Amino acid sequence: MKVNLQDLTFDHKILKAGQKVLIRGTIYTARDAAHDRIVKMLNCGEEIPFKLENSAIYYCGPSPARPGAIIGACGPTTSSRMDIFTPRILKEGVKFLIGKGSRSKVVVDSIRQNSAIYLVATGGVAALLSKTVKKVGLIAFEDLGPEAIYKLEVENMPLIVAIDSVGNTVFKMQPFNV
């Protein structure tokens, strides 16, 4: 199924755990250090550098682009490292999280409560995923290097719905066949 992340008329609730999707649209990279700063800013009432409502966050720290390339390798990082920050981020209206690996019960419950979606990318395909990036721009926290927040415009990024908006998860499905 093709999913345009910025199509506000698209009912993301139709996405089901185990479903394969091709996404297009704007996603923001953010790893541990960026999440820590975002949550601290939110807790202090500060404005963050991009709109969280209806956004998609990709747990990724892209490598530098080679000459002539838009971006370097941009594979997912282990999502569970963001679990401590995820409930707070989801309260702000984030609709899509993209990473790899399973999530804690607290995060699954928060995804369900906030009607969000967790998508997974296959680990080890960072070079392939970089080919789906059509445009990239630095948004915030340049001092974090690859862990800075980047705005990516992607087209046909292949992902799997790992946790749907009602809390179903591929990590508990039998057989694990996605």
Q: Is residue 56 assigned to a domain?
A: yes
- Per-residue pLDDT for 78 more than 90? yes
Q: What is the pLDDT of residues 118-142, one digit of tens each?
A: 999 987 788 888 989 999 999 999 9
Question: What 3-state DSSP class applies to 34?
Answer: helix
Residue 167 lies in a domain: yes
> For residue 10, is pLDDT > 90?
no
Three-state DSSP state, 114 = coil
- Beta bridge mates, 63: none
Asked if residue 1 is part of any domain, the answer here is no
User: Which pLDDT band holds residue 178 (cuts at 50, 70, 90)?
Assistant: very low
Q: Which of 23, 30, 34, 35 is catalytic?
A: 35
pLDDT at 92 over 70: yes
The CATH number given to whatever domain includes residue 47 is 3.20.130.10
Inside any domain, residue 2: no
Task: Indicate if 12 belongs to the active site.
Answer: no
Closest CA to 36 of 163, 162, 140, 107: 140
In a domain, 178, yes or no: no
Domain assignment of residue 159, yes or no: yes
**How many distinct structural domains can be found in the chain?**
1
In a domain, 9, yes or no: no
CB 76 within 8 A of CB 99: yes
**Mean pLDDT value across residues 3-7:** 90
User: pLDDT tens, 131-176?
Assistant: 899 999 999 999 999 899 999 999 999 999 999 999 999 987 655 4
In a domain, 30, yes or no: yes
pTM over 0.85: yes
Query: Where in the sequence is the domain holding 131, given as residue range(s)?
Result: 18-172
Q: By three-state DSSP, how is residue 12 classified?
A: helix
